[in-house]
Structure 1
Amino acid sequence: MAASLELINRINGAHTIQLSLRDDQWLEMERAAAFKADVMGERMYKLDGFLANPLYRVFNVDFQHGGRFYGAAYQNCPEGYRRYLTIDGKPTVEVDYCWMHPTMLYAELGIQLAFDPYVASCGSRPLIKKTFNALLNAGSSNIDQLPEFSSVEAGMTWHQFVGGVKQHFGPLAVFLGSGCGLRLQRKDSDIADMVMSSFATRGIPILPIHDSFVVQAAHEFDLRKSMSEAFLAKTGHHCRLRSAKGALAPPLDSMVA
C-alpha cells in the first residue's frame, strides 16, 4: 500500500500539472470553488498555479473503512474547470465511473446494474443521489432533511420522500441506513490504487478525483481499459464509464461553476 502510494507520488511529482487559465479565470474559479465549499459544508483548500501536491490516503475508524486519496489541489477544482487541467502542457481527459456505489452494491447481490439508479419519479436526480449517499453513510434511515428538499415542491414530507427513495432502490434498501458508505470507500479506493498503479509502473502520471481519473488525452483508451479491468477484478461485475474531454485556454464566459 505505502509502496504504491510512494510510486504514484513520485511519478506525478516528476510532471507539470497545471490549469490552462488566465489570472481572471483563476479568480472566477476560486470563487466558484469557495461557493461550492460553503454550500457543501466542505473545507476550502487554496488553489495555486502548480497542482502536483503529494497524495495521501485517509482511513476512517480502521483500515477496512475509507482509504480514499486526498491532498492534491486539483481535486478541489469545480467540475466545470477540471477539463482545463494540463499535464506537461498537454490536454487531458477525465474518465469517471458512473453510479459506482450502487453498482458495487448490486454486484454484492449478484446483479449487474444496467440503468441509471438515480432517476426516479419521487424527486430530481441530484436530490435522489444525495439522499441515497446520505443513507449509505447513516446508521439508520432517520437522516436529517437535506437543504435542497422542499416539501411544497415535492408534495410530501421529508419522511415520505426518504421512504420513496428506499422503495425506489428496491433490493438495495437493506444497505440504506446501514452505515456501509465507508466500507464501499475502502473498496473504491483500492480500485483507484489498482488503476493508478497500472499507470505509475509505466511512468505515466495519473490524477485521481475519487471515482474518476485524469490523464493526458492520448492515454484515454488505456485508462478506460485499466478502470474496467480493476472494477471487474474487485467486484466481479462491470461499471459504466463516462469521459469528459479536456481543452486549452477557454474564454471566461464559457466557465461552468
Structure 2
Amino acid sequence: MTLTPSLPPEGHDFPLDFHWKTKPSFIAAAGVSLTGHPRALEARNSIMTSLVRAALAGQGGWVSYSRSKRFYAPLARYEGTAYTYDRVLAAVKELGEMGLIEEERALPSKEPSGWQSRIRATDKLLAAFRDCPFQHVGPRDVIELRDANGERMAYADTDHTRRLRRCMEARNEALGAIPVTLPERDGWIHTPGHVSVRSQKTGHWVSLRPLPVPQVVRIYGRGRWDMHGRLYGWWQQLPAARRIELLINGEVAFESDWAACHPTLLYVMAGKVPVGEIYDVAGYDPRHVKAALLTVMNTKTTYGGVLSLMKREKDDPGAWPHSLDYTKGLMKAVEHRHEPIAHLLGADMGIRLMHVESEMCVEVLKRCERQNIPALPVHDSFVTQASKGAAVTAIMAEVMEATCAAINHSRPSIKAGNPPHMGAALRSRVAPAASASVPPAREAVSAPSSSAPSKNGPGKAVSRPAQASRKAQARPAHPVSGEALPASWDLAERTLALVEDFQAAVRARHRKVAAGAASGWGCAPSASERRHDLAQARGLAEVMADEEQSTGLCVVAGVPYALTDDAKAKREKRLAGERKRASRPRPPIRPRRPSTYWAKPQATPPKAQAKPQGSLPLV
C-alpha cells in the first residue's frame, strides 16, 4: 500500500466488530449462499461487514480475530449467541475457500495476550460490497465484567446487575439525543466508518470508529462490581486538544475536569486535606510528580511504582527518559510531600478510586439530564457545549463535595469557615468538650444578643442551650486519623463500632434511594441488595480494624473506639426487633394444583377372561 504524506501511516489491526451488518443482497452478490442457520448467517454477515469497513479505512484493512475457545466463552452475554467459536471459524473458512478474504494464521499461545490471527477482504469482496449501506447494532449489554487480565467474564444476573444495567440504559438514552458533529479541518481525515485525527502534542495519528449516536459501556474489573466501573465512549479516544473541536448542539465544545481527583479522594479517605498544589514538589517537574503519584496509586508496593515508570521507557522509548536513581528519588520526594496519605500509596487504591470516580460521573450525568444539559463523560472530565460549561462545572463541584462528605463525615466545609491544615485532622462540625471554656451555668443564664432578638420572647426559659451544652460536653472526642491507639483499644470493640457506623451509613443510603424510588426516581433496593451492602460494610469494618491492629495507628477518623452504653442499648433493641420480625410465622405456601390435562387418570383395563374350551366331540 502506498502512503501519501497527507494520510496517517498504517496502524494496528482493527478488532473483529460484531456491531455492524449490511443487507443480505450484498452478501448474495459476493456469491455466498443465504441458506443456513440464522445465527450462522448473522455471524457471517457481521464478519464480512467488518472486513469491508476496515478496508475502507485505508490503513491496511487487516482485522484480527481469535482462534481460541476461551475467547468466545463469554461472548454469548456480550455479543449474542450467534458469535461462537464454531460459527466464526466456519465463516472464516468458507470465505477463505471462496477467495473473498486473505488470512494470516498466528501460532497458538496459552497466554491471553498473545498474537491473534488476522484476515482482510480481497478485491472480489470489495467489488460486491460497492456502495453498500451499513447498519449499526448497539451493544447487547451495557455493563461488562472483566477479570484481572482484562478479559471478559460471564456472570449471572442478580438484582444488583439488573439495576446497574437499567441505570446505564437510561444514561445511553439521554446521550443518544445529543447531536455531536466531527469537524472537517486540518488534522482530521474522514473515511467511511472511520476518522483519523492527528495529535497536536505528539504528532501521531489516532484512528477511531465513531458511532451514529453517543453511547457508553461501563466496565468493571477483577471480577468485582465494586472495582473500576468507568464509562467508555468512542469520543474518549480523541486527544484532549481535539475533543474541544467537536460541535455539540452546533456549538464549540468545552471540557471541565476534577483537578487532582484521585489524590483529593485519598486525602478525604485519610481524614486530611492537602495544602498548596498537589503536584508541587521542590526540585522536580510537576509533570513528573503527577506521573509518579498517579502511578504509585495503582501499584501494590511503592517500589512497584518505580518499576512501572521505568517500564514505560522500555515499552515506548522516550516516554520516561530518566534513570533509576532519579525515579527512586522522585518517589521518595512524593511520599515525603504527601506524608498524610503515604500509607495509601502503593496500596493498590487506584482501581477502587476509579469506582468512586465512576459513581460521581454517573451522578453528574443524572443531574445534567434533569437540567437538560448535554454532557459527554471522559472519566474525570465532561465535554459539553460552551454555553453550558459553567453549569456543568458547578454540578461537578457539588458532586465532589457530596462525595467527600459521604466518605468522611468530619470533612470541613468552606461555608463553616474551617481552614484546612496539612497533616492535621479534619475539624468536626461539633466542637469538642475542651473548646467549651464557658461553664454550663453561665451559658444557661446568658441572655441572647440584642442584635439578634430571640423568637421565644423574654418570658420563656432558655434551658435548651444549657441541655445542648451539657450534651456536647459529655460527648467524647472522636479519634483522629494517624494518632497512636490508646492502651484501652480492643479489637472486638473497635470492630463493633466500625460495623455500626458503616452499616448506619448504608441504611441511610438505602432509605434515600427508596424515597427517591417512591417519587419516581430509580428503583428501591431489594432485600438481597440490602443484605449484600450490609455484608460489604461489615467486611470493610473488619479490614479497617485489622489494619489498625497491625499498624498501631488510627485509620478511620470520626468513629469512637468503642460504643457507648446508650449505643449498645440501641443496637440490642434494633437486633431484638429484627429477630422478632424474623421469627414471625409466615403464611403457609399454598401448593400448586397439579394439572389435570396432562395427568388424566386412566381407566383400569378389564381383566382378560379365559375363553371356555368346548368339549371334544365323541367318536
Q: When the two structures are superposed, what TM-score results if normalisation uses the length of structure 1?
A: 0.78
Q: Is 1:196 the equivalent of 2:365?
A: yes
Secondary structure in structure 1 of the residue aligned to 2:252:
strand
Structure showing the higher helix proportion among its residues: 1
Q: Is 1:78 the equivalent of 2:239?
A: yes
- Whole-angstrom CA distance in 1 between matches of 2:226 and 2:204: 28
Tell me, yes or no, if the aligned pair for 2:364 and 2:395 is still in contact at 8 Å.
yes
Q: Give the residue type in structure 2 aligned to 1:69.
A: L
Q: Is 1:208 the equivalent of 2:377?
A: yes
- The aligned residue for residue 254 of structure 1 is none
Structure with the greater alpha carbon radius of gyration: 2
Pair 1:225–1:181, CA change in 2 (3 A)? same
- Whole-angstrom CA distance in 2 between matches of 1:29 and 1:114: 42
1:102-141 matches, cutoff 5 A = 102-141=263-302
- Whole-angstrom CA distance in 2 between matches of 1:14 and 1:204: 11
5+ residue gaps in structure 1? 39-43, 239-257
Tell me, yes or no, if the aligned pair for 2:296 and 2:346 is still in contact at 8 Å.
yes
CA RMSD of aligned residues (A): 2.7
- The aligned residue for residue 142 of structure 1 is 303
1:26-58 per-residue CA deviation (whole Å, 9 max, x = no partner) reads 1496232996889xxxxx65144x673410111
- Whole-angstrom CA distance in 1 between matches of 2:225 and 2:361: 16
Pair 1:104–1:113, CA change in 2 (3 A)? same
Q: Give the residue type in structure 1 aligned to 2:323.
A: S
- The aligned residue for residue 242 of structure 1 is none
- The aligned residue for residue 250 of structure 1 is none
Tell me, yes or no, if the aligned pair for 1:85 and 1:92 is still in contact at 8 Å.
yes
Q: CA deviation at 1:89?
A: 1.3
Q: CA deviation at 1:212?
A: 0.5
Structure showing the higher strand proportion among its residues: 1
Q: Which segment drifts farther, 141-150 or 223-232?
A: 141-150
Secondary structure in structure 2 of the residue aligned to 1:172:
helix
Tell me, yes or no, if the aligned pair for 2:209 and 2:234 is still in contact at 8 Å.
yes
1:1-257 matches, cutoff 5 A = 1-22=164-185, 24-27=186-189, 30-32=197-199, 46-48=208-210, 52-61=213-222, 62-70=224-232, 72-143=233-304, 144=307, 145=310, 146-147=312-313, 148-151=320-323, 156-236=325-405
- Whole-angstrom CA distance in 1 between matches of 2:204 and 2:184: 21
Stretches (4+) displaced over 6 A: none
- Whole-angstrom CA distance in 2 between matches of 1:137 and 1:98: 18
Q: Give the residue type in structure 2 aligned to 1:32.
A: S
Tell me, yes or no, if the aligned pair for 2:196 and 2:207 is still in contact at 8 Å.
no
Q: CA deviation at 1:189?
A: 0.5
Pair 1:130–1:29, CA change in 2 (3 A)? farther
Tell me, yes or no, if the aligned pair for 1:51 and 1:74 is still in contact at 8 Å.
no
1:105-152 per-residue CA deviation (whole Å, 9 max, x = no partner) reads 111122233522111124211111111111111011122124314239
Query: Matched residues, percent identical?
Result: 24
Tell me, yes or no, if the aligned pair for 2:198 and 2:204 is still in contact at 8 Å.
no
5+ residue gaps in structure 2? 1-163, 190-194, 314-319, 406-410, 413-619
Pair 1:216–1:31, CA change in 2 (3 A)? closer
- Whole-angstrom CA distance in 1 between matches of 2:299 and 2:366: 32
Pair 1:214–1:51, CA change in 2 (3 A)? farther
Pair 1:67–1:45, CA change in 2 (3 A)? farther
- The aligned residue for residue 241 of structure 1 is none
Q: Which segment drifts farther, 142-151 or 84-93?
A: 142-151
Tell me, yes or no, if the aligned pair for 1:21 and 1:84 is still in contact at 8 Å.
no
Higher relative contact order (CA 8 A, sep 6+): 1
Secondary structure in structure 1 of the residue aligned to 2:199:
helix
- Whole-angstrom CA distance in 1 between matches of 2:387 and 2:242: 20
Pair 1:36–1:229, CA change in 2 (3 A)? farther
Q: Give the residue type in structure 2 aligned to 1:189.
A: S
Tell me, yes or no, if the aligned pair for 1:122 and 1:164 is still in contact at 8 Å.
no
Pair 1:60–1:122, CA change in 2 (3 A)? farther
1:157-213 per-residue CA deviation (whole Å, 9 max, x = no partner) reads 432332222222211211111000011000011000000111124443210011110
Pair 1:119–1:21, CA change in 2 (3 A)? farther
Count of aligned pairs = 227
- Whole-angstrom CA distance in 1 between matches of 2:227 and 2:183: 36
Q: CA deviation at 1:60?
A: 1.0
- Whole-angstrom CA distance in 2 between matches of 1:34 and 1:69: 25
Secondary structure in structure 2 of the residue aligned to 1:121:
coil
1:208-257 per-residue CA deviation (whole Å, 9 max, x = no partner) reads 0111101122222321221111111111269xxxxxxxxxxxxxxxxxxx
Pair 1:45–1:26, CA change in 2 (3 A)? closer
